[in-house]
Amino acid sequence: MITVENNYFKIDTPNTTYLFKVNPLGLLEHIYYGKYIPNEEDYSFLEEMPGFGYGIEKEDASYHFHPNHSSNEVSFRGRGDNRELILEIEKDDDPECEFFYKGYDIINDFSIPGLPNALNKEATLVIHLYDSKKKLEFNLYYSTYKGNDVITKSTSLKNNDNKPITIRRILSSQLDIAKDDFILKTLDGLWAKERYIHAREVGYGVTKIGAQCGFSSSEHNPFILLEEKGTTLNSGDCYGLNLIYSGNHVEYIERSNVHKVRLLNGINDSSFAWLLSENEEFYSPEATLCFSSKGENELTHQYHRFINENIVRGYWQNRDHPVLLNGWEALTFTFNEEKLLKIAKRAKDLGFELFVLDDGWFGKRNGEKSSLGDWFPNLEKLPEGIKGLSKKVHDLGLLFGLWYEPEMISKDSDLFRKHPEFVLRHPDYEPLTMRFQYMLDLANPTVVDYLIETLSKSFNEGNLDYVKWDCNRVLSDCYSTYSKLQGETAHRYMLGLYRLLDTLTKRFPKILFESCASGGRRSDLGMLAYMPSFWCSDDTEPYERMKIQEGTLLAYPQSTIGAHVSDSPNKQTLRSSEIEDRFNVAMIGAFGYELDVTELSDIDTLSLIEEIAWYKENRHLLAYGDYYLTSSIFFDNYQSFYIVNPNKEEAIYFLGKKLFEFNSETIFAKVANLDPKETYLFKERRQNFDFYLERKRKLDNRKTEDFETFMANIKEIKPLTSEEQIVTLKGESLMNAGVRLYYEWGSGHLPKRIMTDFGTRVYKITKC
C-alpha cells in the first residue's frame, strides 16, 4: 500500500512501514523503516531535528538541513553529505550534482528493461528528481508485493543534454537508519565452502562487502543481514538486503559518528563506468529490502515466500522437482552408452525419475582441456548421439537431462578455431585461463545470437527435460569492442547473459534448468529469475553441507537449493558418512543423488529405495513448507530446524550433530507454528544403521547385481528399530515443551539414539 499525503511518502507492507518526505528545500529526507505504523497527519514526532554542532547546512528562512547528519533518502557528490553516496557522475570533469524533487507517479506495470525483475508487483511508486544544471533526471522506484514484507527499490538516470556524461556509480538502494548498535551477518566463502555465516559488530567507518569477479560469487553473496544487538532467531529487529542481479555487486555499511548507519547496495562501482549519451537512460537492478521485528526466522520466512512467489516463475514455480540421478562424481569423463544405460535401468528400478548426463558428452571432451563450445555429441562414447541416448532413457520411463557450460570456450575447440574473436580478451594481453578455459564475450550480441541458435538446436535434438547450466570460471580480461568504456563490459556481459537466458527459458518453458557455477558461485536472485534452483555447492559431505545449507537458507528457500547424496568417503573432505545421514541433509533441497547406483552395497541400496520413497511422500512439504531454524550449526552445539506446511497439518524436524559426545545434552524437539488444539503423531524416520559392526561390514560388501535377487536378499536386513521414537501428543505440548529425544549412544539402557560423529535424525509430525 502506497500513500502520498502532505509531501510524505508512506509504503506499507503487512508488517512494515517505509517513510520519507520531500522537505521544504525540495530534497528527500528519510524518516523511518521499521515495524508498521498507522497513517498520521504529520510525522514530526519521528523526524530529524536540527543540531549536532558544526556541519554543512542548507537552509532558507524557515528550514535548516544538515546533509551530513540527517537521514537522506538519496545523496549526491559535493552537496554536503560526506558519507558513501548512491550516485556518482562526471560531466566535463565535474562530479557535482544536485537533484530536486520534481514529482511522482504510482504505476502498475513497472519492469526494468533487460534485467530480471520481481514479478507480481502490487504497485510501484516512482519519484522523479531533476538536476536542471546538468539536465539529468534521476528516478527512484519502490515496489510492494501482495502479502509480503519485502519491498524492492531501484533507480534510473536519464541524460537530457546533448553532451554525454560518465556514470561512475549508480546503486539501487540507499537506506539511512537512525540507530547504530548493530551486528552484521554476511554469507562468505569459496568453492566447496559457500555461504558460511559470519557475524561481527558494525564498527565506525565503512564496511564494504562485494564481488568483482564478474559474478555474484562464492566469496561474498549479495545477501546481508543487519541485526540490532540482542536479536535472536525469533525476536528483535533486523533488516535484510539482497540484489536481483548475478554480476559484480557491492554492499556498503557505513556507521557514522552521529549514531546512524547507512546501507547501500547495487552494481559494484569499482571498475564500473558507463557512458550515457543524449536521451539514454541507465537502469540499476532491483534491490530487495525486508524488515522483521520478530527476529531472523521471520525475515527468512518473508524472503522465502517472496522468492517462491515473485522470483521463481513459469512452469516450475511451486512444482515438485523430479528425483534426479547425476553420474558426474562417479563417472567423470569416462563412460559409454552401455554403462550409462545400465545405470539408468537400475535407477528406474530404484525409484529415480530423471537421469542426467553431466560433463564429457560433447566434442572431444575426455578431460578439462578441450571442446567447450562444441555442443555436438561425442560419437565415440555415444554412437547414436544424444538423440539415441535420450530416446533409450525416455523409453525406460525416465526424464533426461544434460550438462552444458554455454558461456565458455576451450582453446582446443572447433568454435575457437572458427571464431577466435568470440573470446572475451584484451587486444594487447594474453587472456587468462581458469580450468584451461576462456570466456565468451557475451557483451557482443553476435555471440549471444550464436548461442541462442546453437543451444536451441541441441536442446531440441536431445528432447531435453533438464539442463544443468554450468559456469566454471570467473571474468577476467574484461574488454569488449562492444563497450564504449571498458568499465561497461562486466555489466554488458550480464545484459547479454540475461537476454540469452530469457530467450531460451521462454523458448523451452518446460525444461527444468539448474544453475551451477563451480558449485554455488552464482547463487543469487538474478539466476533464480530464469532457473528455479542452483547447485548449492560441490561439497556434498553432510556435515559441511549442514553449514553451507544453513547459510544459504538464511536467504534462499529450500526449493532453490540443489542438494544431492554422493558417495562416501566424500571427495572434497575425505570424511566418511552413512548414506542415511547424507540423505537427511540433502532431502530439503532440489534433491537427487550423485553416485553410481550399480556399485552400491545391498544395505545402502535398501536405504536409498526407502529414502526416495519417503522423499516422494514429503517433497512438497520439504521444498515449499515454512522453514524455521531452532539451533544453528555455526553458533550452537548442533543444528536443528523444522519445516511446517502453512495449514499446520504436517511438519518435519531435523537434527544434525557435530562430534559424538559422551553424556550428551538433552534435546527437546520443539515445533512451534502448529495448531495447539490438534493432536499430532511425532515419528522418527526409520534409518538402516546396524550397530553390530561385524554384520554391517558384511552387508556393506554385498552387492547384488540382479534386481530381483536383491529384492529377495534384503528381506533379511533388519533395520534398527530399538530407537525409533514414536509419540502422540497435543500440538500445544509439542509447541511449548517439545519431545525429549532419546539420549545418544553411550552405554546404559536402551532406548538410545545411535548417533556417530556428525549423525543426523529426521522426525515427521502429522496431524492425527
Query: Distance between CA 20 and CA 9 in Å, rounded?
Result: 5
Given candidates 116, 285, 519, 526, which one binds ligand GLA under the rule CB under 6 A? 519
Pick from 283, 291, 403, 422 the residue near ligand GLA by CB under 6 A: 403
Q: In angstroms, what is the minimal distance from the CB of 335 to ligand GLA?
A: 13
Min. distance of Cβ 329 from ligand GLA in angstroms? 8
CB 470, min distance to ligand GLA, A: 5
What SS3 state is found at 614? helix
C-alpha–C-alpha distance, residues 64 and 47, integer Å: 13
Q: What share of the chain is helix, strand, coil (3-state, %, to 5)?
A: 25, 30, 45
**Pattern 463-502, ligand GLA, x by CB under 6 A:** -------x-x------------------------------
Single out the segment in contact with ligand GLA by CB under 6 A; choices: 302-310, 515-523, 698-706, 715-723: 515-523
> How many helices (H) and strands (E) would you count in the chain?
14, 40
Q: Using CA of residue 578, residue 583, residue 586, residue 592, what is the dihedral sign?
A: positive
Q: What is the footprint of ligand GLA within residues 650-709 (CB under 6 A)?
A: none
Parallel, antiparallel or unpaired: strands 64-65 and 87-90: unpaired
Q: Closest distance between ligand GLA and the C-beta of residue 524, in Å? A: 16
Beta bridge partners of 217: none
Nearest to residue 436, comparing CAs of 485, 505, 488, 366? 366
328 touches ligand GLA by CB under 6 A: yes
Among 518, 549, 560, 640, binds ligand GLA (CB under 6 A): 518
Using CB under 6 A, which of 538, 580, 604, 610 touches ligand GLA?
538
Alpha helices (H) in 233-326, listed in sequence order:
295-306
Query: Which is nearest to 139 in space by CA: 151, 150, 153?
Result: 153
Q: Which among 470, 477, 539, 626 is annotated as catalytic? A: 470
Stretch that binds ligand GLA, among 202-210, 239-247, 513-521, 622-630 (CB under 6 A): 513-521
Judged by beta carbon, residue 223 or residue 403, the one nearer ligand GLA is 403
- Smallest distance, Å, CB 746 to ligand GLA? 38
Which residue number, 174 or 572, has a Cβ lying nearer to ligand GLA? Answer: 572
Q: Residue 470 catalytic?
A: yes
Q: How far is the CB of 358 from ligand GLA (least distance, A)?
A: 5
Nearer CB in complex with ligand GLA: 403/763: 403
Q: Is there binding between residue 410 and ligand GLA (CB under 6 A)?
A: no
For ligand GLA, the closer of residues 252 and 362 by Cβ is 362
CB of 703 vs ligand GLA, minimal distance in Å: 25
Specify the stretch interacting with ligand GLA by CB under 6 A; choose among 46-54, 511-519, 569-577, 732-740: 511-519
In the bound complex, what is the minimum distance in angstroms from residue 328's beta carbon to ligand GLA?
A: 5
| Closer by beta carbon to ligand GLA, 81 or else 538 | 538
Q: Name the residue with the smallest CB distance to ligand GLA.
A: 359
363 to 402: interface string for ligand GLA, x by CB under 6 A: ----------------------------------------
Are 523 and 221 in contact, with CB atoms under 8 Å apart?
A: yes
CA 657 to chain centre: 25
538 a catalytic residue: yes
d(CA 357, CA 334): 11
**CA 391 to the chain's CA centroid:** 34
To the nearest whole angstrom, how small is the minimum distance from the Cβ of residue 519 to ligand GLA?
5
3-state secondary structure of 557: coil
CA distance 759 to 667: 14
In 599-649, DSSP assigns E strands to: 626-631, 638-644
* Residue 593 and residue 324 in contact, taking contact as beta carbons nearer than 8 Å: yes
State which of residues 129, 165, 393, 516 lies at the interface with ligand GLA (CB under 6 A): 516
* Measured distance CA(77)–CA(92) in Å, rounded: 15
The residue among 352 and 403 lying less far from ligand GLA, judged by its C-beta, is 403
**How far apart, in whole angstroms, are the C-alpha atoms of residue 314 and residue 38?**
36
Give the C-alpha separation, 32 to 29, whole Å.
Answer: 10
**485 Cβ contact list (under 8 Å, min separation 6):** 166, 273, 274, 275
Scanning 108-116, 212-220, 412-420, 512-520 for contacts with ligand GLA by CB under 6 A, the matching segment is: 512-520
All three cell numbers of 313, joined, read 516463475
Of the candidates 176, 374, 412, 538, the residue annotated as catalytic is 538
**Which one of residues 29, 309, 353, 359 is an interface residue with ligand GLA (CB under 6 A)?**
359
Q: Which span sits near ligand GLA by CB under 6 A: 171-179, 292-300, 516-524, 714-722?
A: 516-524
The answer to whether 469 touches 535, Cβ cutoff 8 Å, is no
71 versus 518: smaller Cβ distance to ligand GLA? 518
Shortest CB 435 distance to ligand GLA, Å: 8
Nearer to ligand GLA, 121 or 468 (CB): 468
**Helix (H) or strand (E) run with residue 503 in it:** helix 489-507
Q: Which is nearer to ligand GLA, 224 or 386 (CB)?
A: 386
Interatomic CA distance for residues 501 and 527, integer angstroms: 9
Question: For strand 287-292 and strand 533-535, is the pairing parallel, antiparallel, or unpaired?
Answer: unpaired
DSSP 282-293: EEPPPEEEEEES
Q: Which CB, 308 or 472, lies closer to ligand GLA?
A: 472
Distance CA 291, CA 356 (A): 40
Nearer to ligand GLA, 77 or 365 (CB): 365
Cell numbers describing residue 612: 526416495
Q: How far apart, in whole angstroms, are the C-alpha atoms of residue 700 and residue 656?
A: 24
Number of residues that bind ligand GLA (CB under 6 A): 11
Binding site for ligand GLA (CB under 6 A): 328, 358-359, 403, 470, 472, 516, 518-519, 535, 538
Q: Which residues are known to be catalytic?
A: 470, 538
